[in-house]
C-alpha cells in the first residue's frame, strides 16, 4: 500500500517556526505532485502549498513569504518550512500526493493522516 506519513507538527508561539515532513512509501511508478493542505475547526480545507515533479510551486496567498515547500526526490519526501507563524495558521495539516501506481494507468490521490499545528502564546 501507498502510505504518506507526516511529522513535525506541534505547539509553537506566534512568530515561531516549524518544519513539517511527509514521506511517501510503497510501490509507485511516478509522482506528479505533492503538497500540503490544512483544515481548521469550522473551516473548509484549503491548499497551503504544492510542488510538482518539475519543481513548480504554488502557495496560498495567506502563507506567501512565510512558508516554503521543498522536496527530496531520492527519499520521496516533501517538506514545509513554516516561519513567522500566526494563530491563524492553527490547523490540522494533511500531506497529499498525486501519483501513478503503474505505467499506463491513471493518476490517483493519496492522503496522510494529518499532523496538528497549534500556534498559541
pLDDT at 47: 97
The string of DSSP codes covering 21-52 is EEEEES--SEEEEEEEEEE-TTS--EEEEEEE
pLDDT at 82: 98
The segments of the chain whose pLDDT lies below 50 read none
pLDDT at 73: 86
Amino acid at each position: 500500500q501507498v502510505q504518506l506519513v507526516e511529522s513535525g507538527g506541534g505547539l509553537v508561539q506566534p512568530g515561531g517556526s516549524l518544519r513539517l515532513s511527509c514521506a511517501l512509501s510503497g510501490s509507485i511508478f511516478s509522482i506528479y505532485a505533492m503538497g500540503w493542505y490544512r483544515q481548521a475547526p469550522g473551516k473548509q480545507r484549503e491548499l497551503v502549498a504544492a510542488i510538482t515533479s518539475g519543481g513548480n510551486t504554488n502557495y496560498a496567498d495567506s502563507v506567501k513569504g512565510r512558508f516554503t515547500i521543498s522536496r527530496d526526490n531520492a527519499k520521496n519526501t516533501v517538506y514545509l518550512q513554516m516561519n513567522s507563524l500566526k494563530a491563524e495558521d492553527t490547523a490540522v495539516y494533511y500531506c497529499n500526493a498525486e501519483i501513478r501506481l503503474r505505467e499506463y494507468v491513471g493518476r490517483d490521490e493519496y492522503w496522510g493522516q494529518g499532523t496538528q499545528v497549534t500556534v498559541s502564546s
